[in-house]
Structure 1
Amino acid sequence: MKKTVLITGSSTGFGKAAAKRFASEGWNVVATMRSPGAETELVDRDDVLVTRLDVSDRESIAQAISAGIGRFGRIDALINNAGYGLHGIFEETPRAKVQEQFDVNVFGVMDVTRAMLPHFREQKGGVIVNISSGAGVFTLPMLSLYCASKFALEGFSEALSYELASQNIVVKIVEPGGVTSTRFGDRSGAEAAQNAAIDAYAPFVAGANELFAGLRGQRLASSEEVAEVIFRATSDGTNQLRYVATHDITPMIEARRQTSEAEYIAFMRSQFLPRS
């Protein structure tokens, strides 16, 4: 029997690349997105169901899961991919935008997962893959809210993995870094542009932007490469929790996880704090 995966945020980036990757491997795919009427590439395949799911709308979550089960009989894996990142100085960011960041990246993942769990328990198994970020391991200035949401996702996923192991449900975390072929940064930049700037931060922002420009100049992965890691995490049959999906963040992750706290913080401050 063919396996079926439900993927959130399938209209662009990792989600669309993952939908194509799973379909190419013979899986049925429930490719969910906020505006399915705009999708043109995935709609003509018999093994792909394109349907609406907005992670901030619990009714749409329930309807998408029901539609997937109705079409393919069961769902074997869930990829919680939908998300976006706020970029900018924390003090400049309105509280409503902070709430929205968590509504999408944290509470949305929780709501989709909660809605899927009864089906997984009924069939006595399933795989959940949560798409985190290098920003869920180490932090960067001007990404404090995105980092906070991904740190929350990492903690939730790890703790949940212990609970769900008792139900034969495996939880995985995929941690990508910089990617060229995604529009992930478009919304982030548009959101930041709407915030009122505080002049006192201007020198810091200029320095940080210069550093980020240098980081973007490095060799970045593609959405397809990240989709390959997502597919491997879903299908490798192991209980491995974390998968680093792009090479550009490996040095930062190693600094965070393999050096002392003092060494790591000193390194980060040397990158971002003004030099006297």
Structure 2
Amino acid sequence: MSHVVSHPVIAGASIRMFRGGAGPTALFLHGGAGLNVWTPFFNAVSQHHDLIVPEHPGFGESDNPAWLNSVNDLTLFYLDLLDEMKLDRVHLIGNSFGGWIASEMASRDCGKLASVTLIGPAGLAAVGDQEDLFRWSYPESTRKLFHNQAIAERILSATPGPEQLANLIKNQTTMARLGAPVGLTNPDLARWLHRITAPAHIVWGRHDNYCPVATSAAWAAAIPGAKTTIIEDAGHLPHAEKADVTAEAVLAFLKNA
């Protein structure tokens, strides 16, 4: 499915935005590694949905506005985006850092949301042992992302160009600034997740090295009626590592939401 790239100005910040497909609107919020290409997962979702994939302020080709100081700022930014783009009945999907933002959005206001899908979200304290990912080197963090190490080695063997390297540094800097001081968690979030009244879906890779799969149960317990899907043979990015299986599960949920 073809897509377009634009640079709209939302809440005073220019952001890079991918968009493709037709049908009910879906909004995907990416993780801390950033947004690089239109992926096979995006292509699969856009077969059935008008899929919007913005690049967060502070990441990649998007502006790094002076007002960006916390995940709360990104949460309110995306609520503004829904308003400014006049979006309604949106299927909100977020992975990792983007899943944290999505959960904060939904716990504040589900009025414009048709459903919420959280893929290995940050935001809650991990259940079980978790290392400090901000101490990992780039090669180590890349290898930790995937269960299939061939994918990680393929990424690490590619030499990034100047623009890719600049975006990588920008993404890492923003993640460290917003995520490291709070350990990628909001201690107040758990008690407000009950406010998510839209149908919710928790998706987790069985072999997630960033946040143990047992944490999925904490999310499911906190969000009323949430469905849980565990993706086998996948790490922290099941939508990248097992795009077909993850897309099938997500699309089935969206269809019935």
TM-score bracket for this pair, using the shorter chain length: 0.3 to 0.5
Greater percentage in strand: 2
* Larger helix share, 1 or 2: 1
